[in-house]
Amino acid sequence: TASTDQPTQWRFAIEETIGSVQHQYAMKFKELVEERSNGEIEVTIYPYGTLGTSDQITELVDMEVVQFAMASPGHLGKLIPEVQVFLLHFLFSDDDEINNQVLNKDPRLQKTFAELYARKRLKLLSIFSEGWQVWTTKDPIHRPEDFEGVKMRVMTSPLLIAAYNAYGASPTPLPYSEVYSALQLNMIDGQENPVFAIQEMNFYEVTDWMIFARHAPFITTAVTNREFFDSLPAERQELVTGVVADLNDYILKVQREFNQERLSLIRKNKPDLEIITELTPEEREAFRQASQPVRERFIRMTGEDGRKLLVELKQTIKEYEDQQQN
């Protein structure tokens, strides 16, 4: 029984700092929920660093300390191995509009993902891209051979390590805060991150090349505690699903603007930075071929469920791409 004078508190923990795509998402969520509940609900946003690491935030959702949170596949993969499918290279469409539709509007995939998340008492609200992963390196990269001997910093995820091994690079796990100095001191030769992170952490200052291979989008998911959601009265459940549905298109727009702005900022701050805005189809094909064994690895890690998910995802992406062309 929520009284109007004392608003119900909902807490939303995100994995990124203030001013990030995730923060923008949470702010809009807060705005819409508070507006549409006529102030009966108040949402508090906890940005990165206030409540803990990504792993801890997911646990906090399970303990119902926070009701809503972002959970990105790099971390969630430790709980739900199948979501590591989002880390695979050259799986998604080049068009992030199509990816957005595949991930949030296709009923079959929605069901598949909902079931995966439900295993861990989570309710999946939305899946969205924060932009393409971009390589910043000391030397140009056009073909897998160019990665030979390149020390790439990646997150400690077996699939990412496998991917860069497959290209011939030496993947080097390092804490995020050490990446800048490590690049500066040539302890590593490159790293990957979405544009906004590259700008925020100034990685472009200590590398000479920025390469948009469009090998993988940087994907994150918004979740809530399933028992919490089920315990809500019907109109509040609809409120949440309605807000989340409206956010899908909003966040795609935000993400594009964001990354464009940040890219022009980078261009302005370092005019002599060499930017490869796209690889040729042949070059990408070489990477695509080289990255295939990683999919085998993914299937070994996730079994039949993972294989089915991969096939379903590939088919759906193809369907939407074909539709687009017609």
Residues making contact with other proteins (CB under 8 A):
44, 46, 49-53, 55-56, 58-60, 62-65, 77-79, 120-121, 149, 151, 156-158, 161, 170-178, 180-182, 184-187
The CB-of-231 to other proteins minimum distance in angstroms stands at 13
The CB-of-65 to other proteins minimum distance in angstroms stands at 5
Q: What string of H, E and C letters represents the secondary structure of the chain? A: CCCCCCCEEEEEECCCCCCCHHHHHHHHHHHHHHHHCCCCEEEEEECCCCCCCHHHHHHHHHCCCCCEEEECHHHHCCCCHHHHHHHCCCCCCCCHHHHHHHHHHCHHHHHHHHHHHHCCCEEEEEEEEEEEEEEEECCCCCCHHHHCCCEEEECCCHHHHHHHHHCCCEEEECCHHHHHHHHHCCCCCEEEEEHHHHHHCCHHHHCCEEECCCCCEEEEEEEEEHHHHHHCCHHHHHHHHHHHHHHHHHHHHHHHHHHHHHHHHHHHHCCCCEEECCCCHHHHHHHHHHHHHHHHHHHHHHHHHHHHHHHHHHHHHHHHHHHHHC
Of 144 and 171, nearer to other proteins (C-beta) is 171
The CB-of-87 to other proteins minimum distance in angstroms stands at 12
The CB-of-203 to other proteins minimum distance in angstroms stands at 12
Asked whether the beta carbons of 191 and 152 are under 8 A apart, the reply is yes
The CB-of-284 to other proteins minimum distance in angstroms stands at 27
Of 106 and 189, nearer to other proteins (C-beta) is 189
Of 155 and 286, nearer to other proteins (C-beta) is 155
Of 202 and 324, nearer to other proteins (C-beta) is 202
Of 53 and 292, nearer to other proteins (C-beta) is 53
Distance of CA 254 to the CA centre of its chain: 14
Of 12 and 132, nearer to other proteins (C-beta) is 12
Query: What's at 285, amino acid-wise?
Result: E
Query: Phi first, then psi: what are they for 11, rounded to 5°?
Result: -115, 135
The CB-of-11 to other proteins minimum distance in angstroms stands at 9
The CB-of-133 to other proteins minimum distance in angstroms stands at 18
| End-to-end Cα distance, the chain | 52
Of 149 and 271, nearer to other proteins (C-beta) is 149
The CB-of-50 to other proteins minimum distance in angstroms stands at 4
b (16+ CB within 10 A) / e for 59-70: ebbbeebbbbbb
Nearest to 240 by CA among 104, 129, 124, 127: 124
The CB-of-156 to other proteins minimum distance in angstroms stands at 5
Of 168 and 256, nearer to other proteins (C-beta) is 168
Of 89 and 151, nearer to other proteins (C-beta) is 151
